Structure 1
């Protein structure tokens, strides 16, 4: 995908989803460092502790214990030093109202977790490609949901 090494932060409480995400990156031959946190509180703690070296992009699950992905997104976008980090929502939810709310909060893209590994790999690759091509500019609302 790219020769440049970049860092990805994945916030997801599901161990299988984290493993599949890592496997997808490996198969996509993405030259990235993946950091993983298990919930919203860990995500915010990681960001606070790593202000000197923030991730280039965050993949954020919505349904996590302690602090939801939506709460984290709102908090990150209000934070002066964190608000420029592109956030790609990574969720099983397909609720249009939720997607609209997340778009309005400033999420960059919305990726639905795919049940099929090949599709999951493709959609993660597409989201990363879109992020890199668009220089982290939020797309028009009609292009928010990343589809295969």
Structure 2
């Protein structure tokens, strides 16, 4: 059986967070590729210039980015017809219930709080990729929206 290869796009302005994310991916038993962008404007430019066939499988989207934040990007992405069902995992330091609810309503696929511990980061990324894959990259019920390490 052929193993799934996850083509991942990470939108995050923090270089350290990007490095930890990449290191965590390297240590997972999952086959992955990673492209990173450092702000919301770069993200939207990347998505606009990428054909539907070449889109990544999933986007990990930080909420607090310069120029255009993750919430604004999520809103814009969901207004683009070819990206309405594009899988987006919010990847944020905050786990404020109100923000989580808003991200769910805006159509994010899952929500992850960035863990400070590297082993938990690996676990939560793997859990997110597997949950998204098992759910056909569709938004689950609200009770299953937040993924824990």
TM-score category, normalised to shorter length: over 0.9
- Report the Cα offset of residue 32 of structure 1: 1.6
- Report the Cα offset of residue 29 of structure 1: 2.9
- Pair 1:6–1:119, CA change in 2 (3 A): closer
Structure 1: stretches of 5+ with no match in the other structure: none
Which residue of 1 is the match for residue 32 of structure 2? 32
- Report the Cα offset of residue 141 of structure 1: 0.5
Structure 2: stretches of 5+ with no match in the other structure: none
Tell me, in whole angstroms, the C-alpha distance in 1 between the residues paired with 2:6 and 2:94: 27
Runs of 4+ in structure 1 deviating by more than 4 angstroms, as ranges, are none
Which residue of 1 is the match for residue 17 of structure 2? 17
Partner SS for 2:47: helix
Count of residue pairs brought into register by the alignment: 147
Mapping of residues 51-130 of structure 1, within 5 Å: 51-52=51-52, 53-130=54-131
Bigger CA drift: 45-54 or 114-123? Answer: 45-54
Tell me, in whole angstroms, the C-alpha distance in 1 between the residues paired with 2:4 and 2:132: 14
Tell me, in whole angstroms, the C-alpha distance in 2 between the residues paired with 1:136 and 1:3: 17
- Report the Cα offset of residue 59 of structure 1: 0.2
Tell me, in whole angstroms, the C-alpha distance in 2 between the residues paired with 1:5 and 1:121: 17
Partner SS for 1:20: helix
- Report the Cα offset of residue 58 of structure 1: 0.2
Q: Deviations over 1:84-110 (max 9, x none)?
A: 210000000111111100000000100
